Structure 1
């Protein structure tokens, strides 16, 4: 009897073990395929801010179109999530190998897919129901979010913004400043202080570099203004040559359009510019410190390998959308669900010219998002890289105890928010205390 049981046990093990192994293998393969199709990360996953500098990214076009996502999946019913998932599936090399190959070879194909995926999903009954649940402001944004081909009304005199006519080397830095037609005083304060074009010397005997300047604008809504400022803006452009204006309504949610259109303009007009500062017109910038910091980046070992990924600013990670509807940053969960990716605060950020061109290409596979700095973070995730945090970018102002220090503004790269009068006064104070604060270092570069 014992021999009989032993024989049956051996037979059972011999037959069932391969079946169990095969079942486990099928479960594993099914899980992997689902992860690839959905491209989802676990809700609440913290995106690390450690920058990834992989060499030859630009040369090999090593974009990550089907990378794991920071947002929640399509079953959550959010409008943007469903749009982006449909687009990601077009770029998935397993589901659509032919489309994936085309996307790597032809960037115009990517733009057509943006429109195609938008039309396909917005025509469905479920998406129409989701659209009806959105606020009026969000509905207005969604109705135009597939459009990006706005023509330029005014362009700068120079090929890449206003600059010195006698430049003896390629520009080190382009100052790209977001502004509106109304903010003439802000633009004048910047032109007279930290935004001067031409040669700018660095601090502490470091070499300098040529700086160019361009202001980025849309149009004021004619239904909301009493006086047209277009003729005054044209006169301003003729005098300073630093205005770049597109034919779209200048709203808070359309700030993302300024990024996308600027990247496109830069890619066609600024082939030799090494770095970009993109910021608002109410920030104060220590330009000599910026020049010194950028020269240090170029002098680092393996700079050529890392420059295509370079972005620095006040980095924010693990952020979640604002759900309070009286906030200008309000994003309803019917539009977007999930965490935000790691991003640099939009008050001011530095990145390389090479990264600007890469952002232009990858943005063709990411649907527009109403918050501009978050959208830049979304594109960075798609490029498999992250911004570098530097505490000398103070997008939320100086700490109270530092404001009274004599050399506080010598320690910074940027501070937000300042009026035109304050900008002029701070620039004068910076020059006046230059000798006394000669050896003051930048605020500690290690994030606490």
Structure 2
């Protein structure tokens, strides 16, 4: 009996040992196959999945055939040596909020919807310390070098601001403002501001005409300015601007030099001011001081948006204008939109270009928060598109925003009743157009907004 038990033990030990060895061998073969697949061509697709010498990280498991999505683009680059200056700066910020690299930080950022200002300056210091960067900066145009020298600074005090909490108020407002007109201007452009005040930029209770209905909404107004360079202009208009502010109560001025590359800074500072001062405003029109806006049409259009199903949810990302897609930077060094490839490379994000865009007050507050994680860019509407991209939001294109004017030989009696905005118009033209629109309102009341998509090339491209 004892011998029998001993034999069975030997048999059991032999079987178990063999099974364990086979299992270990199987695991070893499986590991070797997986490692080999990362350095070979996938037989089903003929696409190299991952090379150990590649400078990029590529998500695995994606196949390029009819049944699967294509192979993904890189999430981030391991080395920054060959990247343009702005791309390097932004990549350091994006890495900080990358859900794979820093899941806890990214989650806190999403939950709080706020981002630390110091990260912008910290990333700037990291990139500035990189080797050979001084050579890149020295080869930039002078205006671009000046932009780089101040692009990390966003702390500018307010010199003048409106009397009302949110722009020049309307008299006896009985409900929250529907629309705030936020117009970018300069100290010297008094004639444009005055024309806007007398025409399409009037504050108060404005009626919008629909087919069988009159809709209304309160409008407020604010002009956005920096300071004029007195050495270049030879004129000091600061005192006259103070008098203008006292009379109209619609001037918002910061203590920075007003120049083309500072337009994106105006957006950032305006979003901050709006978030503090305009809790109840539904929409913002942000535009230049050389556009003509059909304000009654704008009121009717925005009231329609508020009546759509689930309007509140759509307002979170609502932005409408003349949308530019798949744009590339302008590499012509004589253009004011010139962006050297050493400063920025790649496509621009989708953005609403030209002289004017409309977005919701809810979106303005979100743009204020997300702008703290996006480095300033020399072109303002492209920068807004970058912030929208960070929010995973897309602007809506509307053909009634004619930021590149009417197509040739199209202006007719009712043409200006078909638009929301036309760019560019002088102060005298604004006054005349406003008078013409009022005179022809009855005979053109049934004219609908434009639905075509005829646009000229964006000069930024």
The TM-score with structure 1 as length reference comes to 0.85
1:414 aligns with 2:421: yes
Q: Which residue in 1 is equivalent to 2:187?
A: 181
Distance (Å, rounded) in 1 between the aligned partners of 2:379 and 2:115: 25
Distance (Å, rounded) in 2 between the aligned partners of 1:346 and 1:446: 15
Aligned mate of 1:279, from 283, 287, 311? 287
Q: Measure how far apart 1:241 and its partner are.
A: 0.1
- 1:382-412 per-position Cα deviation (integer Å, ceiling 9, x unaligned): 1001100000000000112321x11000000
Q: Measure how far apart 1:33 and its partner are.
A: 8.4
Distance (Å, rounded) in 2 between the aligned partners of 1:314 and 1:342: 10
**Cα RMSD (Å) of the superposition?**
2.7
Q: Which residue in 1 is equivalent to 2:65?
A: none
Question: How many pairs does the alignment contain?
Answer: 406
Equivalent residues of 2:203, 2:221 under 8 A apart: yes
Aligned mate of 1:266, from 256, 271, 274? 274
Equivalent residues of 2:192, 2:289 under 8 A apart: yes
Q: Measure how far apart 1:334 and its partner are.
A: 1.0
Distance (Å, rounded) in 2 between the aligned partners of 1:426 and 1:323: 36
Q: Which structure 1 segments of 5+ residues have no match? A: 1-11, 37-66
Distance (Å, rounded) in 2 between the aligned partners of 1:102 and 1:119: 24
Larger Rg: 2
Q: Measure how far apart 1:419 and its partner are.
A: 0.3
Distance (Å, rounded) in 1 between the aligned partners of 2:27 and 2:222: 75
1:443 aligns with 2:418: no
Distance (Å, rounded) in 2 between the aligned partners of 1:379 and 1:109: 13
1:119 aligns with 2:125: yes
Q: Which has the higher contact order (CA 8 A, sep 6+)?
A: 1
1:88 aligns with 2:94: yes
Aligned mate of 2:439, from 427, 432, 440? 432
Equivalent residues of 1:390, 1:447 under 8 A apart: no
Equivalent residues of 1:280, 1:348 under 8 A apart: yes
Secondary structure, aligned partner of 2:359: strand
Equivalent residues of 2:56, 2:74 under 8 A apart: no
Q: Measure how far apart 1:93 and its partner are.
A: 2.6
Equivalent residues of 1:102, 1:109 under 8 A apart: no
Q: Which residue in 2 is equivalent to 1:136?
A: 142
Secondary structure, aligned partner of 2:138: helix
Distance (Å, rounded) in 2 between the aligned partners of 1:280 and 1:145: 22
Q: Which residue in 1 is equivalent to 2:66?
A: none
Map residues 48-447 of structure 1 onto 2, 5 A cutoff. 74-104=80-110, 110-204=116-210, 205-403=213-411, 405-444=412-451
Equivalent residues of 2:291, 2:424 under 8 A apart: yes
Q: Taking structure 1 as reference, are residues 284 and 68 closer, same or farther at Cα in structure 2, changes over 3 Å only?
A: farther
Secondary structure, aligned partner of 1:201: strand
Q: Which structure 2 segments of 5+ residues have no match? A: 1-24, 40-48, 60-72, 456-461
Structure with bigger helix share is 1
Q: Measure how far apart 1:94 and its partner are.
A: 2.5
